[in-house]
Structure 1
């Protein structure tokens, strides 16, 4: 006997297969093992960073091969990967700042901080459909835990682009992540701010202000 459709049934049918209804698996890999997922991470980064707030057009380096290569070259690096089935939907990376690019190390040195005492969260991307499910916290938890296990770090830190409140390409309901970062115990470190250039569609290479956020890394309990 065929059952009649009602509004509730129709809503459930429409949600079937939606990302919010599927289980996302999280896997943590370190050092050279990250190389197995290199191409998937780069493809995901390009897809996410093309949107707000980075607006990267892919024509110049941003979070591309040169940044990920530092993770592949460091035995102390980590990648926290979120999968929907076999599809990578989120990736967060980190490594000691001393193992990362010169521009990042110089930002710390300019503030009088030894780069070897900082663990750098070098990138974090997640497809919009999978946000709001606690994966952002998981990305921070796993990387902070990894830094504690390695030991020798006073701070965990990352850099994020700053955008004008009236930027013409800001989404109508676009909100920053400042509140989330504050809840995680991070605060701006103005002395470690820096500029970094990349290409935006229709604008060419633009110098972007990058704010540094950091927090003291407590010892493992």
Structure 2
């Protein structure tokens, strides 16, 4: 295993988008997202991300193979369904950096790449300047969901070690099609946040 990690910004992000779309569809199909995505939707979603001012895309490679990716951008550049809960809670969106998805193939987990993803995204927030908080969100699923794997270990402990904590009552909703549904359904997303120093 020959791992390398690179943070891309500006126009350099666009070249990574096809691999990022592939990874999102592959990784998010598993629990807890159960996302039944399409390349057409991914291309549209990621094109908006790539155009965001201050965006960063962290790419992990094993040799020449892209095995993981992680995104981040100023919250003010993201969709209203993510920003609105913060506005309603009294936060200044211009001071919040949003860590978007992290996707990593199962074969390459446990090698510290999750920490690198956060290090480089938080590093982008510091480089841009003016951000007081970093945040991300996770889908909320019932513990008794029929598709939950018996051996599933949530990432709460990892996120807590990174200094993040769930913010009570700070949630958003987002629609997508689950692998076991015929149509899109609404999902609750819980925000976690940490203060940047």
| TM-score, normalised relative to structure 1 | 0.84
Aligned equivalent of 2:30, options 41, 51, 67: 51
C-alpha distance in 2 between matches for 1:207 and 1:185: 29
Aligned residue runs from structure 1 range 17-28, under 5 A: 22-28=1-7
Aligned residue runs from structure 1 range 6-25, under 5 A: 22-25=1-4
CA contact (8 A) 1:31 1:71 kept: no
2:137 is aligned with 1:137: no
2:96 is aligned with 1:118: yes
SS in 1 for 2:141: coil
- How far apart are 1:122 and its partner, in Å? 1.3
CA contact (8 A) 1:121 1:156 kept: yes
CA contact (8 A) 1:71 1:78 kept: no
CA contact (8 A) 1:110 1:192 kept: no
CA contact (8 A) 2:134 2:194 kept: yes
C-alpha distance in 2 between matches for 1:28 and 1:159: 21
Match of 1:156 in 2: 134
Write out the 4+ residue segments of structure 1 that deviate beyond 4 Å after TM superposition: 59-62
SS in 2 for 1:105: helix
For 1:27-70, what per-residue CA distance to the aligned partner results, in whole angstroms no more than 9, with x for missing partners? 111122100111111011111001111001115998x3344223
2:14 is aligned with 1:35: yes
- How far apart are 1:183 and its partner, in Å? 0.6
Number of residue pairs matched by the alignment: 196
| TM-score, normalised relative to structure 2 | 0.94
Q: Specify every segment of 5 or more residues in structure 2 that has no aligned partner in the other structure, as ranges.
A: none
C-alpha distance in 1 between matches for 2:19 and 2:149: 27
Aligned residue runs from structure 1 range 145-184, under 5 A: 145-184=123-162
